[in-house]
């Protein structure tokens, strides 16, 4: 996340000040150190640590800072956007998601399971583009659920530095409690735990890769971003119903769909109110494509030439006749 912001900023001729999350400071320090080793001039890449609100307020009030770019929660993004108004800063925001993953009856089961597995459980479900709701058409629901359960059962949980481990811990205890509360809310309202559903036997902040069946619209798992290794399965009947459910959110970052029908793929991709859409693919992020969302998932784009544009100003210069003496 840091390099996709710092890279285009430096290329555009800007200096940058990085304020990393207090939970993940070491990556930012490593980027700054590597920048120096690579020959980036001292002072071009800077890192500040400390109280997020105090540092944020200082940067927002500064007239030297011309642009704010932020990745994080929608709530904090709104505060930064409001705080930037005083000095009329340019703002780009990459905020929360509530990504739907739609599996149609005509999907290739193996492709759909593999893609959904990647979209949901990458980084233990802790990315803004992770599939948050898995919508499965009723004709393929049972077959997909059984195949998906089998695939998730084989996810090896543990220390990420160990061979074969694909599922690590959550970021902190608060994250574990949030995930567990979402699961309990769903169960209390009639959903079924098909796999997992509790803290992992490893303890600490590990949570079992989880699949919840019969999830409905009134449950937290269907309304809010869980940001953890929980896949809620939601049954639908028609394409129109799937689109209604998928778009029924203030978020609009990423969406996924699985179908072998090319006409449907274009039709649904166009109707989805999301900035990124994966068709028969669960890993869609790439530095050469514009990354960003609709609605309350943010402003602006990262990656591609559009990511460069976020750090540039447009200037018009009109030259008169320069030959007259």
Quote the CA–CA distance of 138 and 12 in Å, as a whole number. Answer: 50
Phi, psi of 113 (to 5 degrees): -65, -45
Both tokens assigned to 6: 């710092």
| Active-site residue, from 33, 54, 94, 310 | 94
Residue 239 designated active-site: no
Burial class (CB in 10 A: 0-12, 13-18, 19+), 323: exposed
DSSP 315: -
* DSSP assignments along 95-107, one per residue: ----EEEEE-TTS
Quote the CA–CA distance of 304 and 4 in Å, as a whole number. Answer: 10
HSE-CB for 30 with a 13 A CA cutoff? 6
Residues 306, 275: contact at Cβ < 8 Å? no
Both tokens assigned to 299: 């402003």
Helices (H) and strands (E) in the chain, counts: 11, 12
Tokens 């996709």 locate to 4
Phi, psi of 218 (to 5 degrees): -80, -5
End-to-end CA distance of the chain: 55
Quote the CA–CA distance of 8 and 10 in Å, as a whole number. Answer: 5
Q: 144: how many CB neighbours lie within 10 A of its CB? A: 22
Q: Which residues are catalytic?
A: 94
């Amino acid at each position: 996340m840091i390099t996709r912001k710092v890279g285009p900023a430096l290329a555009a001729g800007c200096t940058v000040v990085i304020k990393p999350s207090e939970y993940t400071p070491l990556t930012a320090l490593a980027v700054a150190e590597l920048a120096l080793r690579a020959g980036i001039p001292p002072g071009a890449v800077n890192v500040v640590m400390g109280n997020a609100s105090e540092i944020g307020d200082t940067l927002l009030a500064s007239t030297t800072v011309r642009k704010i770019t932020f990745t994080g929660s929608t709530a904090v993004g709104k505060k930064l956007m409001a705080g930037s108004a005083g000095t009329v800063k340019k703002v780009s925001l990459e905020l929360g998601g509530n990504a739907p993953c739609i599996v149609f009856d005509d999907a290739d089961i193996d492709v759909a399971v593999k893609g959904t597995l990647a979209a949901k459980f990458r980084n233990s479900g802790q990315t803004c583009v992770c599939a948050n709701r898995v919508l499965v058409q009723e004709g393929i629901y049972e077959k997909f659920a059984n195949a998906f359960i089998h695939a998730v059962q084989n996810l090896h949980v543990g220390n990420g530095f160990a061979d074969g481990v694909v599922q690590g811990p959550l970021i902190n205890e608060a994250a574990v409690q949030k995930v567990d509360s979402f699961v309990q809310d769903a169960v209390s309202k009639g959903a079924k735990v098909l796999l997992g559903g509790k803290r992992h036997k490893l303890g600490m902040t590990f949570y079992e890769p989880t699949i919840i069946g019969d999830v409905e619209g009134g449950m937290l798992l269907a309304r809010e971003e869980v940001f953890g290794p929980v896949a809620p399965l939601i049954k639908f009947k028609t394409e129109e119903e799937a689109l209604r459910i998928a778009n029924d959110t203030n978020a609009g970052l990423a969406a996924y769909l699985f179908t072998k029908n090319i006409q449907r793929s274009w039709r649904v991709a166009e109707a989805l109110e999301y900035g990124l859409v994966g068709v028969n693919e669960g890993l869609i992020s790439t530095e050469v494509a514009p990354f960003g969302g609709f609605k309350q998932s943010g402003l602006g784009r990262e990656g591609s030439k559009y990511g460069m544009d976020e750090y540039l100003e447009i200037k018009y210069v009109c030259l008169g006749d320069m030959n007259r003496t």
